[in-house]
Amino acid sequence: MVVIAGLRAVGASPAQAASGLAALCVVQGVATIALSHRHRIPVLIVWSTPGAALLAGTGHVDGGWAAAVGAFVVVGLLIILTGLWPRLGRLIAAIPTPIAQAMLAGVLLEIVLTPVHGVIDHPALMLPPVLVWLALIRLAPRFAVPAAFAAAMITIGLWLSRHGGLHGDLLPRVDLTTPAFSMSALLTIALPLWLVTMASQNVPGVAVLASFGYEAPWRPSMLATGVGTVAGAFAGGHAVNLAALTAALAAAPEAHPDPRQRYRVAAAAGWFFLPIALASAAITAVVAIAPEGVAVGVAGLALISVLAASLTAAMEAPDGRIAAAVTFIVAASGIEAAGIGAAFWALLAGLAVHLTLTVRR
């Protein structure tokens, strides 16, 4: 639901959002299978959840959906360039982590507030997923979000059964869009999406694999995810990247006692992604026809843990808290100036404060 909410927020129609979801599933499935078998390590490729959340908080940009697709293409090209030019990767790593995480947290704030409004506006639809999420976040945290999603689909399905049911084409299809390019979309979507994907997914993904004794194939992974992002962009997909926290599901000893065999677990996950593409149109149709705010509310539940992690990383270092706080405030404000959204201005403001406080007099 996070992906659908993000794509819809930047102008995608239900059919275009369904196409984007299907494209992401196929790209990440193929990339996971190929990289895991090629390098014999558990390389898990997933869509950028922080990136989707960023889109959900960004909203429409000048040029509409076509400009958003153009921004997705640019993100893919930047990821490819990052893989080919090591200095660019070091430049990303030089951006203070508190600032990057505070930018993400500020963008997430609005969407994370939607479950609160949803419970008030549509209690019968929102309370079941909220209660399921609350119970499982205590008993089985890994399954809290999928279970909440399942509970939401059940409650929405029951609601639909009393309000005429589903309509339209439920079979998956590819809806190609000719990209357009605008400076507003490049600065509001492409640059923040690339930074968030690199700083919140790719760089931590390398660290997670290293913690289990694996050396991530950096250049092949960047080239595969960059090319995959470009290819998927035309069908509406926003970005794919190395898994970060979920990488542990395939890399940890629980996946397989033999570290040399864990790549098979990642490859199996890649095969699992492919059938999800077949259900993309049906899932999107259910989300699109549900009462306003319900689907976004469930997406907000899924992003609470991301917000918590981002705030923790943003405020962890005492020396960086002021710059991180300024970044968070500007991003959460939702301002738009010169046709450019808050994420870009938050990044500039945070870097300006950081340089002001750290440069020698």
pLDDT reported for residue 76: 95
Per-residue model confidence as pLDDT tens digits over 146-187: 888 888 888 888 887 776 666 666 667 788 999 999 888 888
| Predicted TM-score (pTM) of this structure | 0.77
Q: So what's the pLDDT on residue 13?
A: 87
The predicted model gives 246-263 an average pLDDT of: 79
Residue 209 pLDDT: 84
Instruction: Give residue-wise pLDDT tens across range 201-226.
Output: 887 788 778 878 888 888 999 999 99
User: What is the structure's pLDDT at 52?
Assistant: 85
CA distances (Å), origin 20, targets 25, 196, 204: 9, 19, 25
Across residues 131-154, what is the average pLDDT? 85
Closest C-alpha among 142, 54, 46, 61 to residue 101: 54
Residue 10 has pLDDT above 80, yes or no: yes
Q: Mean pLDDT over residues 264-283, rounded?
A: 84
347 token code pair: 């990044």
CA distance 343 to 40: 38
Cα–Cα distance for residue pair 102/121, rounded to 1 Å: 29
Is residue 245 packed enough to be buried (19+ CB in 10 Å), middle (13-18) or exposed (0-12)?
Answer: middle
pLDDT at 278: 84
Q: What is the pLDDT of residue 166?
A: 60
The string of pLDDT tens digits covering residues 256-269 is 788 888 888 888 88
Task: Determine the pLDDT at residue 305.
Answer: 80
CB 124 within 8 A of CB 294: no
Task: Write the pLDDT tens digit of every residue in 297-317.
Answer: 887 887 788 788 888 888 888
Q: What is the mean pLDDT of residues 14-31?
A: 91
Tell me the mean pLDDT in the region 270-278: 86
Mean pLDDT of the chain: 84
Report the candidate in 36, 26, 115, 102 with the shortest Cα–Cα distance to residue 303.
115
How far is the C-alpha of 180 from the C-alpha of 61, rounded, in Å?
12
3-class state of residue 237 by DSSP? coil
Query: pLDDT by residue (tens digit) across 88-110?
Result: 777 776 778 788 888 878 877 88
Out of 26-35, 202-211, 229-238, which region has the weakest mean confidence (pLDDT)?
202-211
CA distance 131 to 139: 12
- pLDDT value of position 167: 62
Residue 360, pLDDT above cutoff 70: no
